[in-house]
Amino acid sequence: MGVATLVSRLNKIDEMIIQRHRPPHVYLDDTYYFVTTGTFHKMILFDNHEKKKLVRSALEMSVKKHRYLLTAWVILSNHFHILFKTSKGQLLPRFLSGITGKSAIELNKLDKRTGRKCWYQYWDRCIRDNRYFWTRVNYIHYNPVKHGYVIRMGDYVFSSYRLYLKTKGQEWITSCFMEFPIKDFFIEEDQF
């Protein structure tokens, strides 16, 4: 989607659903979103492979159920980042609730902690242009290195990086990082 199209859509406030929420959310159809969701009080809840698989499974189920196109993702111990395209923007809260709700229920069963609040909120950004899109893909893939989980992106299994490596190749990934660097990239939810 071009910038002009997105601006036009944003100007049609009466055709959008805006939820009173903090942070506020705008729900658009057929739009790419970058979303970050963090755990309650930034607790380290998903601290092993078995627990991260709960989030990945919930993500896969929600993508399938809502017919969203998942483009990039990473799951860490206290947050996750996803980049996806909506089908119906109104479904975005249900889509994310499917991920956080299902993974929280399963985690609490695993930890024998009934009723514990696991997730806090989510931050979303509509993707405005090609640069914005690819910078966020790179940010998602670099996140495990940034947080010290691994030294190389390819060593982290709870990320879409390996799929990009397999389908696009190392040369393409290197050129993508050179063309869309993340060194100056900052988002409000970067506190994770």
What average pLDDT does this structure show over 51-72? 97
Reported as a pLDDT band with limits 50, 70 and 90, residue 26 is confident
Structure tokens at 92: 């975005």
- The H or E element that residue 83 is part of is strand 79-85
Better-predicted residue by pLDDT, 23 or 53: 53
What's the pLDDT tens digit per position in 140-152?
A: 999 999 999 999 9
How far apart CA 173 and CA 164 sit, in angstroms, is 8
Reported as a pLDDT band with limits 50, 70 and 90, residue 1 is low
Cβ neighbour number for residue 51 with a 10 Å cutoff: 18
Full domain range(s) for residue 82? 3-191
Structure tokens at 152: 């190389």
Structure tokens at 134: 């690819």
What's the pLDDT tens digit per position in 102-156?
A: 999 999 999 999 999 999 989 999 998 999 999 999 999 999 999 999 999 999 9
Integer angstrom CA distances of residue 37 from 92, 97, 138: 13, 11, 18
What average pLDDT does this structure show over 91-104? 96
CATH number of the domain where residue 115 is located:
3.30.70.1290
pTM, to two decimals: 0.84
* 47 φ, ψ (degrees, to nearest 5): -100, 10
Residue 5 has pLDDT above 80, yes or no: no
135 close to 143: Cβ distance less than 8 angstroms: no
- Write down the pLDDT at residue 24: 74
| Maximum distance among all Cα pairs of the chain, rounded to whole angstroms | 50
140 close to 81: Cβ distance less than 8 angstroms: yes
How many folded domains does the chain comprise? 1
Can you say whether the dihedral through the CA atoms of 65, 93, 157, 113 is positive or negative? Answer: negative
Integer angstrom CA distances of residue 146 from 48, 107, 125, 138, 151: 18, 25, 21, 12, 9
Integer angstrom CA distances of residue 157 from 34, 35, 108, 140: 20, 20, 23, 13
